[in-house]
Amino acid sequence: MPFLWEQIVDLTYKPKFEIVKPEEAPRVAERHFLDLRKKYGAVLAIDLVNTTGDEGRLSAKFASSVEPIQSDDLRYIHFDFHKICGHVHFERLSFLYDQIADFLDKNGYLLLNDKGEKMKEQLGVVRTNCIDCLDRTNVTQSMIGRKMMELQLRRIGVFAAEETISSHPNLDEKYKILWANHGDDVSIQYSGTPALKGDFVRFGKRTVQGILNDFYNALGRRDITPPSQKGGLESMANFPAALCVVSLGLFLTILSLGQARYDLRYLFFSALWATISLGVAAVVKANGRIFCNRPRLHKPRH
């Protein structure tokens, strides 16, 4: 999003977004797109974020910031990826392609002949964003890359007019794997986990295993801190340890309740363990930011 905003990580699955200095948003957006146009020519900005909730506030600010500066060489399109495609119907990206095909055709790609002479020049770029520019963005860009590659193969006579990459299973598989690996490499550097929705990029469809992997990787992006050298609660803030205490307390609570029918004294132990579990959980929830790191750049895994 080309304006000032922040998302401070805590223990919620999706921390709240805050727009910083909203009055500066139009100026920041104008400066950003001016820089892009100087470097790349025409710009098509595709915004993939939701229209509701916190994401909706960011999308609305993006749209209002870009609206005054739209021109022949700056175009903005909003495509609510989650609403239109959900979590499985990524083939509906064809609706987006129908809206941008004219831009892709007009701005083209670089083409050299066998003598190295320029026969065609790329005149613009597609700027795609979701929130973290990893998952929705990667799926969308893989679609755009596929369409552009097909145009190029038709132009040089490798493909017939109606031929596509999917017409050639071996090429189709290699393309999917190449793009999925690319998305994983970017995601690992940024978040420490492979990209979400990678099963669609690799196989062309959502799979149960892929959805489970996404859940696991999404949890892995909650970067939990070890104990720090600072004093107070921060020196003891260790989420795995707190989770173990809460889980153990709940287990002992249930165990004690099971024994209470034989000895009422176990009701006391049950209440004690339940109180400890709930107390620790409340402290962790109230101090979620202390228990989490802010996002940081990860080194690629080899």
Sequence-ordered list of residues with C-beta below 8 angstroms from that of 15, at least 6 positions apart, any chain: 7, 8, 9
What's the mean per-residue pLDDT of the chain? 82
pLDDT of residue 225: 44
241 pLDDT band (50/70/90 cuts)? confident
pLDDT of residue 265: 80
pLDDT of residue 207: 65
pLDDT of residue 228: 46
Residue carrying structure tokens 């905003």: 5
**Residues 178-212 pLDDT 10s:** 888 887 887 777 766 766 655 655 665 656 666 66
pLDDT of residue 62: 96
> Alpha-carbon distance 296 to 302, whole Å?
18
Mean pLDDT across 4-13: 76
Q: Does 83 have pLDDT greater than 80? A: yes
H/E/C letters for each residue in 5-54? EECCCCCCCCCCCEECCHHHHHHHHHHHHHHHHHHHCEEEEEECCCCCHH
Please give the backbone phi and psi of residue 119, each rounded to the nearest 5 degrees, phi first. -105, -25
**Residues 274-292 pLDDT 10s:** 898 888 888 877 776 666 6
The helix (H) or strand (E) run that includes residue 162 is none
149 pLDDT band (50/70/90 cuts)? very high
Q: Does 51 have pLDDT greater than 80? A: yes
**Residues 20-38 pLDDT 10s:** 999 999 999 999 999 999 9
Mean pLDDT across 132-154: 90
Lowest mean pLDDT among 49-53, 116-120, 223-227: 223-227
Mean pLDDT across 151-175: 93
Q: What is the largest CA-CA distance in the chain?
A: 92
Q: Do 125 and 43 form a contact (C-beta atoms < 8 A)?
A: yes
Q: Do 110 and 121 form a contact (C-beta atoms < 8 A)?
A: yes
The CA-based angle 129-40-144, given to 5 degrees, is: 45
Q: For the chain, what is the radius of gyration of the CA atoms?
A: 25
> Alpha-carbon distance 218 to 9, whole Å?
13
> Alpha-carbon distance 108 to 125, whole Å?
9
> Alpha-carbon distance 20 to 58, whole Å?
11
> Alpha-carbon distance 208 to 120, whole Å?
43
pLDDT of residue 129: 95
Enter the pTM of the model.
Answer: 0.70
